[in-house]
Amino acid sequence: MDQLLNDFSPGLFFMQVIILIVLLVLLGKFAWKPILKSLDEREEGIQSALDQAEAAKKEMQNLQADNDRLLKEARAERDAMMKEAREIKDKIIADAKDEAKEEASKMIENAKATIKQEQQAAIAELKKKVADLSIGIAETVVKKELASQDEQLKLVEGMLEDVTLN
């Protein structure tokens, strides 16, 4: 301890105090302050850049999600439209078929009616012709009967041969 006290030099202590204060002031002003400030600024810069990157990533994800949603919606809409179109098409075809069927049946009916009418007309005419013919035959027969019986028969036979039922 005695040795230590003897070694202690007040002058050196004083010089050290001065040097340390000068160093603190000078380094503080010209080195530490700008260095620490730059370091802080740089770290803040890095932090904000990271934050920005994170935000951009989130934004991208949002956009991607939006895109996906839009795409899905568009796809659904397209599907709906196609379905609708198909339905319309089917309906049109079905309608057309029905109409055609109706038309056809109507035409057939008409035709049938016409045929029936014609048939009846034909039958009527036939009947009339048969009646006329019968009357004619009867007339002739009646006339020939007046001459001879044989003649009458020949006549009838001959006339019947001429007559062809048309």
Partner 1 sequence: MIAKKSIKCLAILAIVFSSLNVFAGGGGNSEKGGQINTPEDIKGYIKHHLADSHDFSLYSYTNEAGERKHVGFPLPVIVWTSKGLKTFMSSKFHHNDDGHVVVDAGDVKLAKIHSKIYELNEGVEHVAFDDHHHATNAHKVLDFSITKSVFGMLVAGLLMFLGFGSLAKGYKKGAIPTGVGRVLEPLVLYVRDEIARPNIGEKKYKRFMPYLLTVFFFIWILNLLGLTPIGFNVTGQIAVTICLALFTAVIYLTSGSKDFWAHTLWMPGVPVVLRPILAVIELVGFVLIKPFSLLVRLFANITAGHFVVMSLIALMIVLKKDFGPVASTGMSFVLATFIMVIEVLVAFLQAFIFTMLSALFIGMAVEEHEHDHAH
**Chain contacts with partner 1 (rule: CB under 8 A):** 4, 7-17, 19-20, 22-24, 26-28, 30-36, 38-39, 41-42, 45
In this complex, which beta carbon is closest to partner 1, that of residue 32 or of residue 70? Answer: 32
Angle at 31 between CA 25 and CA 35, to 5 degrees: 135
Three-state secondary structure call for residue 35 = helix
Which residues lie below 8 Å from residue 155, measured CB to CB, with a gap of 6+?
140, 141, 144
CB nearer to partner 1: give 44 or 87: 44
Contact 119, 105 (CB under 8 A): no
Least distance to partner 1, CB of residue 44, Å: 11
Q: Report in angstroms how near the CB of residue 53 gets to partner 1 at its nearest.
A: 17
Nearer to partner 1, 52 or 114 (CB): 52
By beta-carbon proximity to partner 1, the closer residue of 32 and 138 is: 32
C-beta of 35: minimal distance to partner 1 in Å?
5
Closest distance to partner 1 from the beta carbon of 23 (Å): 5
Q: DSSP label at 46?
A: H
Radius of gyration in angstroms for the set of CA atoms belonging to the chain, rounded to a whole number = 64
Shortest distance, CB of residue 30 to partner 1, whole angstroms? 6
Specify whether the CB–CB gap between 131 and 124 falls below 8 A: no
Between residues 45 and 158, which has the closer beta carbon with respect to partner 1?
45
Q: Are 128 and 147 in contact (CB under 8 A)?
A: no
